[in-house]
Structure 1
Amino acid sequence: MQDELRRLHRELGTTFVFVTHDQEEALALSSNIAIFNQGRLQQLGSPSEVYERPSNRFVAEFLGDINILPVEGVGRDAKVEGQAIALPAPQGSARSHVAIRPEHMRLARPGEAGNALPMRLVDQIYLGAESRLQLQTRGGVPIVLNIPNSATPNAIEVGSEVLVGWDAQNSFLI
């Protein structure tokens, strides 16, 4: 049905208003997405713009999975749980959390470029082509990481500590 709606939209060249609570369907079918909260418009933009650069925490949490870490300090002094991190630009003191989509995080090695935090593996869920790792920072913040099964180390066990990394450009401040 989604393919047929996309084809009709392309061929007819007219505006469609499609209301759905299915996030994947909204991303797949839309040229623009409007996110509302209690009748108020929160963000309007292309699917990639709204997903990758949400305007606020509500939009970030509403559209897809998101990891949100509290940030202390700004600029070069920014830290998460005492660990120095690089923030995406622009930086501002009013925004106190950094958000990263699960697919933009990875298992990291010590000394690897980018941000990295030690976390404890709480659970590992096999999903076929990928696995969903449920983790927890030392401070207790829950984190979800989606990784291809080809990149999942066999030796990783629930309860063990791993290093989770991400690049600053794949995160955003909220």
Structure 2
Amino acid sequence: MSRQSAIEIAGVSKQFGDFTALDHVDFKIQQNEFFTLLGPSGCGKTTLLRMIAGFETPTQGDILLNGKTISDSPAHRRKINTVFQNYALFPHMTLAQNVAFGLENLGWAKGDIKTRVDEMLEMVHMAQFARRKPDQLSGGQKQRIALARALAPKPEVLLLDEPLSALDLKLRQSMRDELRRLQRETGITFVFVTHDQEEALDMSDRIAVMGHGRVQQIGAPDEIYEAPENRFVADFIGETNFLDGEVTALDGDTATIHTALGIDVTTTQSGVTAPGPAVLSIRPEKIGLETQAEDETREGTVVSRNYMGGFTHYTVEAGGVSLRVSRRNAQARADRIEVGDTVTLGFQPANARILGQ
């Protein structure tokens, strides 16, 4: 039996004057799911989050919470809380008072408030700082208190509007684990907004990739990355190489494309309905250097090399085509590749995907 939807976005559009921010968006977010809205600036993800929260109303369509429409409900009547990018803590209150604030407004009994505040501060590992003020905290600590305050009233859905963007790299990485832990422990549906593909891939149960006011694809992180449904998704998620070509044969979910590299590749396809121009998408880490003979191979010349710790990234020119190749760095490699070297490029056809133009 499938889980009931926590949030349903049903044919939602949003106009700001002549500008269409969202264009007939339809999808469901399951209960107890860590769901991410991912996309570039201006794609409509924050507008959609604000409509779920009740800060904006749809021009068309409906939003449902646990099967009941909330499109016309004011924000304070929705069992939905939001953690904002700037945390929005009250500077004159202690951390315990910040966490208690929402519970007091809801009319909780004093004893229940104290119990819940202690519980939440313990959950975010901030119990020892209960009497401090927000200006005495680091960015990561402020975020923990903002999370505790938002989770304290036991909302049915928690919205997170790019909450990691103000943190440094190391702290962002540790807070990803913290958010995932909190979501699992509370069982609350999290809806996370970000433009950072790595964050989305790392934390999400499912991702909705948004672009041009529409949902381009929804799926688990590995589905989104390994099997993009169109060029927008392939280009936005991670890094990829696009090879122009001509589809010469179609057979169900596979097709054969004659690529600009001068080789024919038969592999999975998306959006190709007839022979003609198309694009082959292949991730840099899926291309091997000095690969085995049974793969599709082509000689090329290394024109740039960038060492990045765990990986080295190369640009290789082959047959008039420039390709990005990523190679994992093993300890004490004896086969170091330098700019100017001639290499053999290759990839397994199953690791490439044909996209319609």
Closer, same or farther in 2 for the Cα pair 1:137/1:6, shift >3 Å? same
Gaps of 5+ in 1: none
3-state DSSP of counterpart to 2:218: strand
Following the alignment from structure 1 to structure 2, what is the Cα–Cα distance between the partners of residues 44 and 94? 27
Deviation at 1:171, TM superposition (A): 0.8
In structure 2, how many angstroms separate the alpha carbons of the residues matched to 1:161 and 1:3? 42
Give runs of aligned pairs for residues 87-166 of structure 1, distance below 5 A: 87-90=266-269, 92=272, 93=275, 96-109=278-291, 112-139=293-320, 141-150=321-330, 153-154=335-336, 156-166=337-347
* Within-5 A mapping of 1:1-174: 1-75=175-249, 78-81=257-260, 83-90=262-269, 92=272, 93=275, 96-109=278-291, 112-139=293-320, 141-150=321-330, 153-154=335-336, 156-174=337-355
Contact 2:288 2:347 in 1 (8 A): yes
Larger radius of gyration: 2
CA RMSD of aligned residues (A): 2.2
Counterparts in 2 of 1:127 and 1:74: CA distance versus 1, 3 Å: same
Structure 2 distance, partners of 1:172, 1:38, is: 23
Q: Is the 8 A contact 2:285 2:326 kept in 1?
A: yes
**Could you tell me how far 1:90 is from its partner in structure 2?**
4.8
Which whole-Å CA distance do the structure 1 matches of 2:246 and 2:299 have between them?
Answer: 17
Q: What is the TM-score normalised by the length of structure 2?
A: 0.44
Tell me: CA distance 1:77–1:64, structure 2 relative to 1, closer, same or farther (3 Å).
closer
Are the structure 2 counterparts of residues 62 and 14 from structure 1 closer, same or farther at C-alpha, using a change threshold of 3 Å?
same
Over the matched positions of the two proteins, sequence identity in percent amounts to 37
What amino acid is the match of 2:288? R
Higher relative contact order (CA 8 A, sep 6+): 1
1:51–1:95: structure 2 CA closer, same or farther, 3 Å change rule? farther
* Ranges in structure 2 where 5+ consecutive residues have no aligned partner: 1-174, 250-254
CA distance in 2, matches of 1:152, 1:172: 33
Count residues with an aligned counterpart.
171
Contact 1:120 1:138 in 2 (8 A): no
